[in-house]
Structure 1
Amino acid sequence: MLFEPWPWYVSGPLIAIIMAILILMGKRLGMSSNLETLCTLGGAGRFLDHFKIDTAAKRWNLVVIAGVVLGGVLGANFLSNSDEVDISAKSIALLQELGFNSAGTSYLPTELFSVEALTEPTVWILLLVAGFLVGFGSRYAGGCTSGHAISGLSNLQLPSLVAVLGFFVGGLIMVHLLFPLIFGA
């Protein structure tokens, strides 16, 4: 079981237990808020007032980042029995039609994230624009997908429900309309 993806009926309750513990401790889970904490710890408060905050209460969440990184490294290198990505054959075919020949064989498309791809100016522009939009969007929405979908919905917050609906609608628009326009032949 350790070397296979965990089914929803194992991982779902584990997430619920973690969320219940965090709620009882008065904590909120989210990844994008860690960027603010890291920037503050790195001295960004000397340049922008936004980063002049007390990070003592938020440092616990940095352990979450360490856990995500460590878990990703362990999962990818030691707990995975295959390099294949388990997505549908139809999705692989559609991605390959758009020029992503690594579809189904890697989690990050090598056409965008390999060292060779980073020699292309268009790849840099695309990654910078995408990174800006994700960063701006998560701050504008008051949190990221994990913060709103897991923590916000667990706390029954209406703004989180609105944000999650927006994430889904935005994702559908991206995948079905914008992605073929950006990467189409």
Structure 2
Amino acid sequence: MPPESTLIEARKGRPVHDANANITKEVEELDELFSEKTNDNHGVVEVLPQKDETEFDISSIVKLLICAIAGILDGLAMEKGRVFEPSVIRHQFEFRSFVMMKMFLAAVSSGLLCLALMSILPSTSQRFQLARNSFIERFQLKGYLSSAIGGALLGSGMMIAGGCPAGVLVQVGAGISSSVVTFMGCLFGAFLYGVSEPIITSLTKPTEPLKHITFDGATNRRYFNLAVPFGLALIPLIAILDFAIPWTQEVSTDVTSDSGIFTSRAWAPYYAGALIGSLQVPMVLFVSENLGGSSSYCTMASWTLPGDLLKQISPYLYRMRTGFKNWGMATYVTTTVVGALLSSVLAGSFGTTAGVSLHHAFIGGYTMIFGARLAGGCTSGHGLSGMGNLLLLSFAAIPAMFVGGSLTAAYMHMMNII
């Protein structure tokens, strides 16, 4: 039996011990509220058919609009935080700059605190749990092996391309010359993983179900009681890093001029990161989804072939082709182009950031997406949402990402590649 999520176990009628104290009852209530509707007709319970995920109504359009707005804000924050710059990402893995780390930790901290608050408020707790269960469900075929190997490949690809899955289209919007080639590499990586997914899954899936999926499940404590201290503990760490190396000395652009909030070329990375982490709120409340990035490339790659042919070549990509969850994430990621474009044009920085060589862009693009899909998430999926949901696999994938990127940086310097 493959490892299954909390939600799946609850639906099969088995006890669930891996979430908040009363998760079994909560999940049953959520299923009743959001999934199945029944009519009691003289003692006969009729289960009404669920809505076809491929059908879009006004509600779906509104949700896609929310995804688009969130994506625009994400693109703006990433452009202002300068983490879309290839040099910033490469310098992080070389330990020459910590802009990326500061922004990442701020986004994780902000996301954790927002999710923790939503987990206890009566008006949002059900939506939080629904989104959390949906997120955990995606990792039913993942284990520590795939998370570690995939995370290392993700970091390696990020170092080579000077980008991250969620930031490639930000680079496109900001006018980086190599960004389109990186994007093409990402689509190739998604297609390559989709074709080989059955073999990879058979080789890497755990032989036994994971005993625990989350930290709160492993420690038998409430999510809120763990998420809040973790989120708060990251704040002084960010402060120490910025005290040791001020961010104004790390970014390549001029930040001394007195500019407005949108015309400024750079924001403090912790402010930009906090904005991105807070985007968990609209995504959870209105879309019932957490932030992600790499899965959208599978959706976009699936559009390159006719449906019948794709179904034969890659059932995995065929499943990613339609459905609101897939289209919602694709909308979120693609609209980051708009946010980055607006931000760079207003600041007068469009097209001023140097890219990487085209072969590095392509190789890095497909390596990081292949690794992200193998791990089950990228810097957004594992980093923001996985760590935000206290997913144990994410605490294996993210350190592996930094190790993979740093080892690749050392190798590239040793071979005089950069």
The alpha carbon displacement at 1:59 in A equals 0.8
| Residue-pair matches, total | 150
Distance 1:159 1:107, change over 3 A: farther
8 Å Cα contact 2:294-2:377 kept in structure 1: yes
The alpha carbon displacement at 1:184 in A equals 4.6
Runs of 4+ in 1 over 4 A off after TM superposition: none
User: Over aligned residue pairs, what C-alpha RMSD do you find?
Assistant: 2.6
TM-score (norm 1): 0.68
Structure 2 distance, partners of 1:83, 1:132, is 25
Find 2:366's aligned residue among 107, 118, 132.
132
Spell out, residue by residue over 1:11-38, the C-alpha distance to the aligned partner (whole angstroms, 9 max, x if none). 2332232113323442022211001112
Indicate whether 1:156 and 2:367 are aligned: no
Question: Larger radius of gyration, structure 1 or 2?
Answer: 2
Structure 2 distance, partners of 1:45, 1:35, is 17
Spell out, residue by residue over 1:104-145, the C-alpha distance to the aligned partner (whole angstroms, 9 max, x if none). x63313xx14xxxxxxxxxx4x55443332222111111112
Q: Gaps (5+ residues) in structure 2?
A: 1-260
The alpha carbon displacement at 1:173 in A equals 1.5
Distance 1:184 1:34, change over 3 A: closer
Distance 1:83 1:163, change over 3 A: same
The alpha carbon displacement at 1:82 in A equals 4.6
8 Å Cα contact 1:40-1:51 kept in structure 2: yes
* 1:3 alignment partner in structure 2: 263
8 Å Cα contact 2:297-2:330 kept in structure 1: no
Where 2:346 maps in the other structure, the secondary structure is coil
Find 1:106's aligned residue among 333, 342, 353.
353
TM-score (norm 2): 0.32
Structure 2 distance, partners of 1:127, 1:182, is 18
8 Å Cα contact 1:31-1:146 kept in structure 2: yes
Spell out, residue by residue over 1:144-180, the C-alpha distance to the aligned partner (whole angstroms, 9 max, x if none). 12211111111111111211111111122222x1121
Amino-acid identity (%): 27
Q: Which aligned pairs between 1:1-185 and structure 2 lie closer than 5 A? A: 1-4=261-264, 5-24=266-285, 25-43=287-305, 44-53=310-319, 55-57=322-324, 58-76=326-344, 78-82=345-349, 106-109=353-356, 112-113=357-358, 124=359, 126-175=360-409, 177-184=410-417
Distance 1:81 1:41, change over 3 A: closer
Spell out, residue by residue over 1:49-80, the C-alpha distance to the aligned partner (whole angstroms, 9 max, x if none). 2222162122112221232111222233x122
Where 1:158 maps in the other structure, the secondary structure is coil
Distance 1:183 1:74, change over 3 A: farther
The alpha carbon displacement at 1:48 in A equals 1.6
